[in-house]
Amino acid sequence: MMGIVVESQLHGTVVSVLVRPGEPVRFGSVLALVESMKMHHEVVAPADGVIASIKVAEGSTLAVGDSLFLLDDPGGAGAAMLPPPALDRDGPRGLDRPDVAEVIGRHAAGLDVARPDAVARRRERGRRTARENVADLVDDGTFVEYGPLVIAAQRRRRELADLIANTPADGLIGGLGDVNGELFPDERARKVVALSYDYTVLAGTQGTQNHRKKDRLFELAEQLRIPLVFFTEGGGGRPGDTDGIGVSGLDCLAFLWFGQLSGTVPLIGVNAGYCFAGNAAILGCCDIVIATEDSNIGMGGPAMIEGGGLGVFEPGAIGPIDVQRTNGVVDIVAADEAEATALAKRCVAYFQGRTTGWTAPDQTALRDMVPLDRLRAYDIRRVISGLFDSDSVLELRRDFGLGMVTAFARLEGRAVGVIANNPHHLAGAIDSDGADKAARFMQLCDAHGLPIITLCDTPGMMVGPEVEETALVRHCSRMFVTGANVSVPMVSVVTRKAYGLGAQAMMGGSTKAPLACLSWPTGEFGGMGLEGAVRLGYRRELDAAGDDASREALFAELVDRMYEHGKAVSVATHFEIDDVIDPADTRRWLTILLAAAPAVSGRLRPNVDTW
């Protein structure tokens, strides 16, 4: 049979010849290595055969088409031939390669199983590790981590082996994963950027490299337009890094870029334990702040306070949860990290889309939730739970701005924001904290495309010398400026009182501002509260009454007369509102209106106010 000539396929130099004349080879066996452009290329046997002759020597320069080998007796050499490259092996392939083994080993060195002492210290504090929190947040098998091999920028003062063992990921776990995959079939809707400072690494401080990792992941969230969840436990900036070329570190970009994410993607911060300085700044920039009962949150930790000459304090004395939940810093308080993570997943879900499989409470129960006695208080949270999908309501800032309720909810699976007056606090009058709380929540809903449902029961803005000391004029006006400029649909439902500027603030500025302004039969309207209007408008008549009993009788008569004039069905005849409805029909109205509203997209606000 004729031989087969093996020719060069490229221009290069022969590095080595791996066969000898008379040697049998199989198809695919490597015959020689040729170097071209600093890369070694294999020359392989094109068929089974025996090496009849070798045309080149090591060091030879080749051109394309030069003869290299002559193969005789193709297909006839039998079992004596050289084996082809191994393609099938028992067990995982490639683990015997030193480069693969090194990569696997380096990744394993940063896992919890490789750091039992660090894990034990977390257990002593009753805490989970950073990796456990991230793993609990994201769906199994969906997390890809960015920068797991990064170490602290301290090579000038510590050995590499020490840094690998004790500063894995430079104290910041971060990457991309799925959240709530069981709820959302759209694969993209599940994606979330997840980050966690690692308190077992240098107390969760912000190092040079983990700042750079944050930058990278913040960019990723912005490019992909997906929510970001950040576990923020840690002590702030780290003074011990030595490998940089700067002095102050004030040119780091993390706070700039994280601030720019506000209004672009939902930002959810989760904290357990100590969170001070830079870590607290990250937490404070978030749209939603979830913190455990053992959290301490402050813009300066003990060292900064003492360094400023302000005294010596234990970490537990700085920003405890009882302070931060009532002053509005924390939106939701959780018992522990497990509950905090579950709450973070719930928050993310409101920004991921519409769910299926919802159920609605008995809507006829709404008819009896507002008492017939117009002076009797009632539970507005019971109204909210009864109106929206079962188990769908999640309240924010419950312990701050007590006269206002702000919550996420769902209506036939559609996520919405709910703002309601609370008759149990100042009869629902709007004070500075309540106005701030409502205006900021409007911004949050507007930024991320959630329709706003307002439940109005207010006698108006709170009045009096004391409340004016809180700068009420400025604070309450935030509701007008914000409400008048939201892009998302708004619907207002008056459950009882709709008086004065407070009522207009709850409606975006006017009864004509929302898609619809509806009232329940218990609704009552006016430029100010009935009692105040009577005392102000009929002072002469009241003063002319002969005695106290006559004055009180006249007062009651005038109030009743004004109530008849301003009750919902009367106001509706003047078309100041769109309709007075059976409370049991509220859901139908809301679903029809929201279904008709055009979708909003793009960046709707430059940012969401942190307050």
Round to whole Å and give the CA distance between 307 and 236.
15
Q: Which amino acid is at 430?
A: I
**Mean pLDDT in residue range 485-505:** 97
Specify the DSSP element, H or E, that contains 267: strand 267-271
The count of other CB atoms within 10 Å of the CB of residue 38 is 5
Give me the phi and psi of 506, to 5 degrees please: -70, -15
Q: What one-character DSSP code corresponds to residue 567?
A: B
| Secondary-structure class of domain 99-349 per CATH | alpha beta
| Cβ 216 vs Cβ 146: under 8 Å | yes
pLDDT in tens, 201-219: 999 999 999 999 999 999 9
Mean pLDDT is lowest, of 234-238, 276-280, 404-408, 593-597, for 234-238
Reported as type and span, the H/E element at residue 213 is helix 208-224
Q: What percent of the chain has pLDDT over 90?
A: 82
195 bridge partner residues: 174, 230
Rounded distance between C-alpha atoms, residue 395 and residue 415, angstroms: 13
In three state form, how does the secondary structure of 142-184 look? Answer: CCEECCCCCCCCCCCCCCHHHHHHHCHHHHEEEEEEECCCCCC
CB 194 within 8 A of CB 143: yes
* Sequence-separated (6 or more) residues with CB below 8 Å from residue 555: 534, 535, 542
Count of other CB atoms within 10 angstroms of residue 88: 5
CATH class of the domain comprising 4-80: mainly beta
CATH architecture of 363-523+569-596: Alpha-Beta Complex (3.90)
Question: Where residue 511 falls among pLDDT bands split at 50, 70, 90?
Answer: very high
Q: Which residues contact 118 (CB under 8 A, 6 or more apart)?
A: 112, 129, 200
Cα 457 to Cα 138: distance, rounded to the nearest angstrom: 40
Whole-angstrom Cα distance, residue 345 to residue 101? 36
How many of the other CB atoms lie within 10 Å of CB of 458?
Answer: 31
pLDDT band at 82 (very low <50, low <70, confident <90, very high): low
> What is the sign of the dihedral through the CA atoms of 333, 335, 341 and 343?
negative
Identical fold between 99-349 and 363-523+569-596: yes
According to the model, what pLDDT value does residue 74 have?
62
pLDDT in tens, 24-78: 999 999 999 999 999 999 999 999 999 999 999 999 999 999 999 999 976 554 4
Closest CA to 200 of 174, 178, 171: 171
- Average pLDDT score over residue span 475-487: 97
Evaluate whether 499 touches 526 at the Cβ level (below 8 Å): yes
Q: Is the pTM of this model over 0.85?
A: yes
* pLDDT(21) > 80: yes
> What pLDDT shows up at residue 79?
42
pLDDT digits (tens, 9 = 90+) for 315-329: 999 999 999 999 999
Domain boundaries, the chain: 4-80, 99-349, 363-523+569-596, 528-566
Q: Which secondary-structure segment (H or E) carries 564?
A: helix 548-566
Interatomic CA distance for residues 426 and 169, integer angstroms: 51
